[in-house]
Structure 1
């Protein structure tokens, strides 16, 4: 891969890696729920994408490079989740983030799993930016201001995406939401 990168850019790319790798790795580790192997693969692919697009990425400041790498890594992880059936079965965790299960009740567990899977399918059908914001908010537990920095969008825009995602979930899942409205809120829009 490095053989195709102009020599003048190699040092810049290495500096970017040293400066950004820790933040990108932490982001992906949260996104993959601690799957170290998948984290390493996704981070590597994100930096490979940066190397391919280095002519564009190199002009960004350090903060924007981290945001670009995190956004790219998130898309790579989402693609992996969609392709990998085992990971797909784990995806209902997206909305289980705040959910507290009662004592073992097989029927309740089965209904909850079905409801969570339905909620995940609703999130998957959301427009790309809304889907990404909902994933970062409810799967990774990021607050609006963190998502704003990561994706390089205004905090108000992130808040609007969270609100739209919340309305969509309530509208499509309604009384089948396997958690209370307060859990879906995930805090105030200023968080």
Structure 2
């Protein structure tokens, strides 16, 4: 009996590791495909200002920054290094991901509470953010408002969808100062799963 239980635990562990390995490979490929213009940084990163997701029960997480190799012109007519922050969190199963979303939405970005499926017109102090929610993972890309323009935001959204999205992915988009929009597969507002 002990052999059967230990074998089952090993198999479950291997399945979980395989899921996280796939996410890790996608994250590496995403960084590698941008290596011509951006340098991947993993050390001495500030804690992301993306709410309480860091306090959820994830089984795997990875965080890095893509920093431009050359200065770019910001919206404020200054030359700055562009910095894009990628945070990825993987969960054991869909139920754990649901618990994480429920907890995170209560204290979302900038401490604001967000209701599943409901857009918010103005979102004070929010920075451009793209959130992709999959069956067992959550991937967040955010950057500072000085780099925001509509075309580049769409470009980053499409890149994120190509690497991390699937037909069932839920997408949250936040522009500089708002709005927050559930743009793909928004959850039903009456669904209590993430409340």
Task: State whether TM-score is above 0.5.
Answer: no
**TM-score, normalised relative to structure 1:** 0.32
Please identify which structure carries the higher strand content.
Answer: 2
